[in-house]
Amino acid sequence: MQSKQANLEKKTSDTKIDLKTIEWNKYMVYIVFVIVFLAFSIFLGNKGFLSSNNLLNILRQTSMISIMAVAGTFVLAAGQIDLTVGAVAAMTAMCVSLVLQSTNSIILALLTGLGFGVICGAVNGFLVTILKIPAFLATLGMMQIIRGSAMWITNTAAVPIKNNQFNSVFGIGSVGGISVLILWTILFYVVGVFLFNKTPFGKHTLATGGNELSAKYSGINTNLIKLKVFIMSGAFAAFAGILYAGRMQSGRYSFGDGDEMSVIAAVVLGGAAMNGGSGSVIGALVGSLLMGIIKNALILAGLSSSQQTIVQGLIIVFAVALSNLSSKKNN
């Protein structure tokens, strides 16, 4: 009888969850998301926070950040950083608008925009892997060059897009009542999750960021991996610029201003470490939505744009601090 009781107690103790062994940083963004959503639902419910129109508007507004955050997960997982994504999105929107204005060819406009993004990513990769310039400095310089070029080519003037088909497919249209922006976001996340979790490219990216020397000894071409993630980041940022152009029915140099910080914050909140070796594509999506919800709630609460900027800065500081704390705990 005593032996049976002892066995039962042993099984019970074995099934108990040791809270200390749980890696809370992996689930923090989901916990925070639920808490923030419930809090805003209670305090801002009477201001329309929970209305279907408002929730769909949050999804539409965060689509561009969410798409860039997919590639941002690969970049940070590889131990790199890309500050050009907002500038690339703006310049792409300008290029697409100018091509449509002169030729009205959607295919040519898309090829021009995506080609520009790929070239920018390749240049970033070249600066980091061949010239050995730190990613922060290389992409900071490229960001200034691209942003300045976007302002210069039209002397800061906006370029309207009058092609209704383009605007519908890449901005204001819907399929079955669902915004095309949301559908594009879903498509990019399906691709991103598959690449990150199910392919050698995803595993090699994590290995490169986790321990580059060990990755090299295991036969991984780490420079090629870095080049690929930068090209991916440029291409995804370019597509985000296409969506900006379609949604706003124009190209403006100011599109994507500050998006690089929002992308980094979303990816880090989603579980990526600033020093590489970890990341979650789904976590990045939740991080992006979390920031979108907070921004939307601040607007509903009547905060000024300057106050909203302060809060966004605090979120970025919190995200980086969380990343550093989790890295120290893992070490």
Count CB atoms within 10 A of the CB of residue 4.
8
- The pLDDT assigned to 9 comes to 54
pLDDT tens for residues 171-223?
A: 989 998 899 999 999 999 999 999 999 999 999 999 999 999 999 999 999 99
Q: Cα(317)–Cα(331) distance, rounded to whole angstroms?
A: 21
- Give the integer Cα–Cα distance in Å for 80 and 208: 10
Q: Output the average pLDDT for the chain.
A: 88
Q: Nearest 5°: CA angle at 105, between 100 and 109?
A: 60
**Residues 161-168: contacts with CB under 8 Å, at least 24 apart:** 161/96, 161/97, 161/100, 161/101, 161/245, 161/246, 161/249, 161/250, 161/251, 162/100, 162/101, 163/100, 163/104, 163/106, 165/106, 166/100, 166/106, 166/109, 166/245, 166/246, 167/246, 167/249, 168/246
Q: pLDDT at position 24, please?
A: 57
Task: Name the nearest CA neighbour of 74 among 191, 183, 242.
Answer: 191
Q: What is the pTM of this model?
A: 0.89
Tokens of 311: 């809060």
pLDDT at 139 > cutoff 90: yes
- Rounded Cα distance between 32 and 23, Å, is 15
Q: Is the pLDDT of residue 28 over 90?
A: no
Categorize the per-residue pLDDT at 18 as very low, low, confident or very high, splitting at 50, 70 and 90. Answer: low
In this prediction, residue 272 carries a pLDDT of 87
Distance from C-alpha of 106 to C-alpha of 96, rounded to nearest angstrom: 8
The per-residue pLDDT for range 272-322, each reduced to its tens digit, is: 888 888 899 999 999 999 989 988 988 888 888 888 888 878 877 877 776
What is the percent of the chain where pLDDT is above 70?
89
pLDDT digits (tens, 9 = 90+) for 68-88: 999 999 999 999 999 999 999
**Distance separating alpha carbons of residues 274 and 36, to the nearest angstrom:** 24
